[in-house]
Structure 1
Amino acid sequence: MNGIVAILRDVLGAEQVLDARAAEGRVSSYWDPSPLQARALVRPRSTAEVSKVLRVCHEHGQKIVTHGGLTGCVEGATSDADTVVLSLERMQAIEDIDTVGRTATVQAGVVLQRLQDAVREHGLIFPVDLGARGSCTIGGNVATNAGGINVIRYGMMRARVLGLEAVLADGTVLSSMNRMLKNNAGYDLKQLFIGSEGTLGVVTRVVVRLDEATRSRNSAMVGLASFDHVTGLLRHLQQSLGGNLSAFEVMWGDYFRDVTGAGFHRAPLAREHAYYVMLEVEGANVEIDTPQFMAVMEQALDRGLVADAVIPQSETERRALWEIRENFQPLYRRQPIFLYDVSLPIREMEAYVAEVQARLRKRWPESRCDVIGHIGDGNLHFFVTPGCEGEHQHAQSDEDVYAPLKPIGGSVSAEHGIGTEKRPHLGISRSAEEIALMRTLKCTLDPKNLLNPGKVL
């Protein structure tokens, strides 16, 4: 096993294979600044080179962890000193943008924001969008089935992938680079790898769907008195604006107050409302869409759905509003803090959040629980701080957040995946039969358990 670095260097070249010492200075992830642990860091430039790496590792029983942008939140890319880390950082080619078929063919290491900017030059958009857009990669988005702020209109990553290329554990290249929206020729094999978190194969190239760029965009941040008003406003916007509603991001009042405190974001609205919503509507005609948006918002005010509202007058003002929702770093002044990503039926949300907060207060009277969510697609995020010292706090917090999901059919992971952090709780959202089938798939495609071992299962 000690010779694996030398063998990989023979196959790829010394410059593309860094040993543990040469990889010093790299961090484990965005969330974990501790030094990267690995036997070697391999940086291939193509699918063929990825295939060579996996073939060598398979022959020598060497476990592998794939790295993309390292922005995942569930410890899905953790490695140790016996691991070969396969980084796709050099696979950054945007190979093709088809403006007629509205597709883009990209390598897995392309950063999300770079793809968004590239297709925008052609009057197109890639609408999957999340706060980590400047760091996360398309391959990582595929491997985790990323969601983000536009799911309510455009769907998750799974809805945007037409085809992909993946390398199996033994080095076999599975090229399914479909570019058609319709293709029912047998099993849709790409679905095996979307959301598989690198445990079934390494995604190296992707064909994604694009949309025509919208020509109008209207935004608002509003304050609301109750959760009934939140759901009422959501339905009002969907009924009045149809498919043009692209984002509907809800912040519980405590979250808003905590991130707009002294020294943090400036509060654009009074800070006493029970809920806040950041919403965005996009369309094709500025002259029609903007007056319609204003009329719909006035109706919401007249009906008492909205208590107060602010509408940005510039891109700078718009970005400042979005920062309140996307930049929650002020919460991290409290340590420890535990981040959660769950999904559940919208009608269950108010009672579920109240139960979680009650459980936490009973356990830790000084605890804090801030909540935000992509409400339109049933996704909530929690930031939990115990407010006191103690052992096993993360596990205890997990129990309080996850246990109430089971009776209402919720999921312990809406968009972040399972990784290692949520692995003990998979049974809350998946039956024994489902997990058994997952194990069968894993054993079939990776019989030696070399790809991202210990993640998901």
Structure 2
Amino acid sequence: MTNRTMAVATDAFDVFLEDLTQTIGGANLKRGDAITNLDYGVTPANFGATAIALPSTTQEVAAVVRSAVAHGISIVPQGGRTGLVGGSTSSPGQIVISTARLNHAVEVYPSERVAVVEAGVTLQALQTAALEHHLEPGIDLPSRGSATIGGMVSTNAGGISAFRYGVMRHRVLGLEVVLPDGSIYSDLTRVVKNAAGYDLKHLFIGAEGTLGIVTKTAIKLEPVPAATATVLLGLPSVEAALDATRLGLSVQYGHMRAAEAIWNSFFSLTAGEHAWSAADFAPDCPVNLLLSLGGGEEEQLQLELGRIYEELAEKYPDISAIIATSQAQEAELWRLREDTDLIYRKYPSAPSFDVSVPLSEVERYVARCIAQLRSIDPAFDPYVFGHIADGNLHIVLNAAGEDLTPEKIAAVEAVLYRDLTQSGGSFSAEHGIGSKRIHALRETSDPVKFALMTQIKAAIDSQHRFNPGKVID
């Protein structure tokens, strides 16, 4: 591109920004030094765009989109910027549309067990609003304080309760979405039973902003149990963890709320960082399991956990266990699982992977992968943890991103993704595709599926203005 062409492009963008100033106000349009004061999230590349627009209503989002289309500007939607696959990265010449100011409306309908929320509302804010009515959204993530509902819808987020309540696709009743031509698709249905034609909301759930910008969502809520109880189990194998999970799912009193497996490498990291230890709890068990129950009375729930321990101990006599006896102790145990930031502080930009494995294959899969990763590099001792009740494993390399060559990363991916699709699993469980996993989608997807995805993209966003370079581009 010549200097003259660049100047013309810059002039055209300036005209576009003048239009936006009239639409959303100059204070809500950031560029240059004003962007540096904002939190870019997990990567500075999120703020590579020339400007950031912060509309406060669906109508303002639509107006920004129409103006961008008229000026030939591509758009990158952003929520909490907590994604790990580059789904929100942007480049010069683009504009980011942030949902940060779409964060006011949280309407809870207690008798319906439904909430209607704007896209920029954080998961934690929704949880707080719902809790006033003894309800919860049925989905939880460690990044609850920054992850936004719009972003979670767009990535089809999962979390710790997916085995019981499903992922975002199962929580969403209705959506409001701004389409690539600036029109507004509004179907904020608040009922479960709806057979009125194509269920179009599913086009946008998990589309990562490539088909539309989610601005409002109707979400199913669930009753909050009166009490919870949590046990940390130190176990000899994945088989033992699956046995414990099976027992948790079949309790006579209450119900299982979470079953989170923590392999020894990650457990040692978090326990060491937080100086956590407990009498009679072995710190070097191959697999640790956080098992949480919910129900009416804490005492009864703890009795159930005791029965689970006793049954496990008959089959696995060397297990360890500690049952939380207070909310503070429960929080301490959960911190051992949720403080994943420790990894990235120790190994900046450590490559992370997010797979789903059929439960019957988990033990073989982990053993094979660890052995083969060490054949690539003997220093590899990956951190493994995840939602064992649904087979979702998070695998993070103990290496900084800058220290790994593209060839070594490709070799790692070949190990982790091998035969996953054929076995009924998925190379991306809940993090999405973004810009980092496009090649994996191409290589592992059924070709007819990928062809249909490209046809849908072409039909809805023929100019590829929405989040280009993501998912299928």
Structure 1 and Structure 2 fold alike (TM over 0.5): yes
* Alpha-carbon distance in structure 1 between the residues aligned to 2:381 and 2:286: 16
**Residues 356 and 404 in structure 1, CA contact (< 8 A), matched pair in contact too:** no
1:452 paired residue number:
467
Matched residue type, 1:353: V
Q: Partners in 2 of 1:386 and 1:136 — Cα distance?
A: 26
| Native 8 Å contact 2:46 2:89 kept in 1 | no
Q: Which residue of 2 aligns with 1:349?
A: 362
Shift of 1:342: 0.5
Alignment partner, residue 391 of structure 1? 405
Quick one: which of 4, 25, 46 aligns to 2:37?
25
Gaps of 5+ in 2: 1-11
Q: CA deviation at 1:255?
A: 2.0
Task: Within 5 Å, give how 1:341-380 maps onto structure 2.
Answer: 341-380=354-393
Which residue type is aligned with residue 321 of structure 1? L
Hey, what's the Cα distance between the residues in 1 that align with 2:96 and 2:339? 30
- Partner SS, residue 360 of structure 1: helix
Q: Post-superposition shift, 1:291?
A: 3.1
Q: 1:215-364 alignment to 2 at 5 Å?
A: 215-241=226-252, 244-261=255-272, 263-268=273-278, 269-286=281-298, 288-304=300-316, 307-332=319-344, 333-334=346-347, 337-364=350-377
Which stretch of the first structure deviates more once superposed, 323-332 or 65-74? 323-332
Counterpart residue identity of residue 32, structure 2 = A
Quick one: structure 1 residues 238 and 177, their matched pair in 2 at CA, closer, same or farther if it must change by over 3 Å? same
Q: Could you give the per-residue CA deviations for residues 389-408 of structure 1, whole angstroms, max 9, x where no partner exists?
A: 55323333222222342442
* Contact residue 265 and residue 324 of structure 1 kept, 8 A: no
Whole-angstrom distance in 1 between the partners of 2:136 and 2:209: 27
The C-alpha deviation readout for 1:340-395, integer Å capped at 9, x for no partner, is 10111011111111221122111111122121110111100001135895532333
Q: Is the 8 A contact 1:193 1:201 kept in 2?
A: yes
2:207 corresponds, among 189, 196, 208, to 196
- Superposed counterparts of 1:35-434, under 5 Å: 36-241=47-252, 244-261=255-272, 263-268=273-278, 269-286=281-298, 288-304=300-316, 307-332=319-344, 333-334=346-347, 337-386=350-399, 389=403, 391-392=405-406, 393-434=408-449
How many Å separate the matches in 2 of 1:136 and 1:232?
A: 32
What SS does the corresponding residue of 1:219 show, helix, strand or coil? strand
Please state whether the residue corresponding to 2:371 is helix, strand or coil.
Answer: helix
Q: Which amino acid aligns with 2:411?
A: Q
User: Residue 241 and residue 154 in structure 1: after superposition, are their counterparts in 2 closer, same or farther (change >3 A)?
Assistant: farther
Aligned residues: 455
| Helix, strand or coil at the partner of 1:436 | helix
Partner of 1:4: 16
Identity, % of aligned positions: 36
Q: TM-score, normalised by structure 2?
A: 0.91
Q: Distance in 2 between matches of 1:336 and 1:286?
A: 41
Distance 1:122 1:69 in 2: 26
Deviates more, 1:90-99 or 1:58-67: 90-99
Q: Match for 2:261: what amino acid?
A: V
Contact 1:229–1:305 (8 Å) recurs in 2: no
RMSD value, Cα: 2.0
Q: Is the 8 A contact 1:104 1:208 kept in 2?
A: yes
